[in-house]
Amino acid sequence: MSSAETVNRDTAAIALPGLGRALVAAGKLGQKSAEDVYKKALSGKNSFIGELVGSGAVSARDLAHTLSLTFAAPLIDLDAIDTQRLPKGILDSKICTDYRVVVLSKRGNRLIVATADPSDQGANEKIKFSTQLGVDWVIAEFDKLSKLVDAANTTASEAMEDIIGGDFEFDESAAEVESENTQANTAEVEDAPVVRFLHKMLMDAFGMRASDLHFEPYEHTYRVRFRIDGELREIASPPIAIKDKLASRIKVISRMDISEKRIPQDGRMKLKVGADRVIDFRVSTLPTLFGEKIVIRILDPSSAKLGIDALGYEPVEKERLLTAIGRPYGMILVTGPTGSGKTVSLYTCLNLLNKPGVNIATAEDPSEINLPGVNQVNVNDKAGLTFAAALKSFLRQDPDIIMVGEIRDLETADISIKAAQTGHLVLSTLHTNDAPATLTRMRNMGIAPFNIASSVILITAQRLARRLCLNCKAPTDVPAQTLIDAGFQESDLDGSWHPYRPVGCSACNNGYKGRLGIYQVMPITEEIQKIILADGSALEIAKQAEKEGVRSLRQSGLYKVKLGLTSLEEVLAVSNL
């Protein structure tokens, strides 16, 4: 080989990529420094941009600003992006991982794509070929983009490896399964395809923001459904032969007896998602005709720390609630059907009250959200630890605030009211249709009107309605008479607003994404106390509350329709006139 050929080969070996040339031209990096970083990246089989940022040659922030000016592309801060609203399924996850890109949105026949290296023509061509769409680049900081790509494209198999590696945290003392059949069932429990399937379902459910997973065996079929935004959706139909192995696997990691299939069982398990986030799962089994139906509820502790503004209270309702929980004593009741978000509301209040100088105790069946700093007790009726027994014990523990999961009987109600009357703030739930009905329900339980009037300071009734997707909701024409029949006043139909309808897009579920609360927040005023003492009806209490400016659940829902947050059909489905 001639000396000229050797020189040409060496020169080609260190020819800088477009990104390097752009940085040198902008004066952010010297030619020699850029070549050294590029050589190091090649020898270490690392990307040039990864080596640049990792070695500290250029900061991710400075690099993004420079490239934005050089390539005349917009600059975006990924910290301000709601990752849950990013479109899914448009671009293959392998392309996103290989080229470190994220699709932000789709406009017509063009994709808006975040990248840290707009000079990468390979990425541009690959995306165009894969999607048959044009690409408009938006510049993002490399470190933030890498984190987003890794989080968005974690595969089910990777999640499975994490779980097997110890991400499920077991309490070994409680996990003993003393059964003659345990060894015989070991092969079932450790069956690899079953393990992979279960872990994929758990990760998919978490990624799709599901609240529950249903594993349902039938005579000839088996199905898995997720409850997403309050609605059940069928996700998978695995072979019927998997049912016993899957049930055994779930029961083992939930610390249940895998040999017992004749009675219902309850358990819990934990899963690490990322480095610092742990998700709890509450597991319930139920023997059916064709096997055990298993329901797994996802309990995300972070939901209690979202803050009161995230729950959907209007300013007046929020002020009433904050005033009530700021009182030194009294009873606050949250009412609504199962699955209406009562627990999250209670824990949001407890999170606001949870301070070093306050002693908080809770009795629940079971405790769904772990809150550090709060003394939580799981009720166990079989062992004699009832709500009433726990409450009696609480009163000897010098409490400031007591939370009772549910008032189910006269004894629990009586102790709760006495606690509220003796200087404690008591929070609890009841299953009633609305706030006024709660007071008559307590009266029917046998509680004296005087005790109700002197202890209860506020009642909140609530429902959860699906939230319209911001990306695709569209205005719709609804006849004026239909709006009036739904509960709107003629004065509301002034043309300053219009209802929206769900449409559906790649970022949502049939036009809806997430849920919002609809609330009736009723303080117990002197006038309402007089009606209670006179043994008045729920209708009389409701009329007085309306005079005092308390919206009914239907009125609160219709207000959300006016704001364009949900649809009229959704409010009609979750509320009564």
pLDDT tens column, 426-436: 999 988 888 99
Instruction: Count helices and strands (H / E) in the chain.
Output: 23, 18
Burial letters for 96-128: b for 16+ Cβ neighbours within 10 Å, e otherwise? bbebbbbbbbbeeeebbbbbbbbbbeebbebbe
- Kindly report the CA angle at 81 between 60 and 502, in degrees rounded to 5? 160
**Terminal alpha carbon distance of the chain:** 91
Higher pLDDT, 442 or 175: 442
Q: What pLDDT does residue 171 have?
A: 37
How far is Cα 308 from Cα 319, in angstroms, rounded to an integer?
Answer: 10
Give residue 208's pLDDT. Answer: 82
Q: In CATH terms, is domain 18-153 a member of 3.30.300.160?
A: yes
Question: Do the Cβ atoms of 282 and 296 come closer than 8 Å?
Answer: yes
Relative to beta strand 102-107, strand 110-115 is: antiparallel
Count how many Cα atoms sit within 13 Å of the Cα of residue 6 in the half-sphere of its side chain. Answer: 3
Q: Does domain 193-299 have CATH number 3.30.70.600?
A: no
Q: What is the pLDDT of residue 276?
A: 63
CATH 3.30.450.90 location in the chain? 193-299
Residues of the chain with CATH 3.30.300.160: 18-153
Query: Does residue 549 surpass a pLDDT of 70?
Result: yes
Per DSSP, the residues of 255-278 read T--TT--SS-EEEEEEEE-SSS-E
Cα 339 to Cα 429: distance, rounded to the nearest angstrom: 12
Name the residue among 410, 462, 464, 404 with its Cα closest to residue 433. Answer: 462
3-state secondary structure 66-121: HHHHHCCCCECCHHHCCHHHCCCCCCCHHHHHHHCCEEEEEECCEEEEEECCCCCH
Kindly state the helix (H) or strand (E) to which residue 403 belongs, with its residue range: strand 401-404
Query: Given this model, what pLDDT does residue 462 score?
Result: 92
Most trustworthy range by pLDDT among 354-368, 381-395, 416-430, 482-496: 416-430
CA distance 288 to 328: 48
Q: How confident is the model at residue 273 (pLDDT cuts 50, 70, 90)?
A: low
Q: Residues 59-115: pLDDT tens digits?
A: 888 888 888 888 888 888 887 777 767 777 788 777 888 888 888 888 888 888 889
Cα separation of 523 and 321, whole Å? 8
Q: 518: which strand partners? A: 463
Please tell me the least confidently modeled range out of 176-190, 245-259, 451-465, 485-499. 176-190
Q: What contacts 444, CB < 8 A, 6 or more positions away?
A: none
Residue 502: what are its φ and ψ, rounded to 5°? -75, 145
- What's the pLDDT tens digit per position in 276-314? 667 788 899 999 999 999 999 987 666 656 677 778 888
Closest by Cα among 334, 341, 270 to 303: 341
Q: What is the pLDDT of residue 431?
A: 87
Query: Which residues make Cβ contacts (< 8 Å) with residue 80, sequence separation at least 6?
Result: none
β-bridge pairing 330-335 and 456-468: parallel
- Strand positions, DSSP E, 124-261: 134-139, 210-217, 222-228, 231-236
Between CA 143 and CA 159 the distance in angstroms is 22
Beta bridge partners of 266: 284
- What is the per-residue pLDDT for 149? 80
Q: Is 381 exposed, middle or buried (0-12, 13-18, 19+ CB in 10 A)?
A: exposed
Interval 393-413: pLDDT, tens: 998 889 999 999 888 888 889
pLDDT value, residue 188: 45
Per residue in 479-533, pLDDT (tens digit) is: 889 999 998 988 888 888 889 999 888 778 788 888 889 999 999 999 999 999 9
Asked if the model's pLDDT at residue 540 lies above 50, the reply is yes
From 1.20.1250.20, 3.40.228.10, 3.40.1710.10, 3.40.50.300, which CATH number describes the 303-465+516-550 domain? 3.40.50.300
Facing residues of 403 across strands?
Answer: 362, 427
Q: How confident is the model at residue 21 (pLDDT cuts 50, 70, 90)?
A: confident
Q: For residue 545, what pLDDT is reported?
A: 93
Residue 157 has pLDDT above 70, yes or no: no
pLDDT in tens, 333-354: 999 888 788 888 888 899 889 8
Give 446's DSSP letter: T
pLDDT over 60 (residue 539): yes
Tell me what percent of the residues of the chain surpass a pLDDT of 90.
29
State residue 173's pLDDT score: 36
Is the model's pLDDT at 180 over the cut of 50?
no
Q: What is the CA radius of gyration of the chain?
A: 29
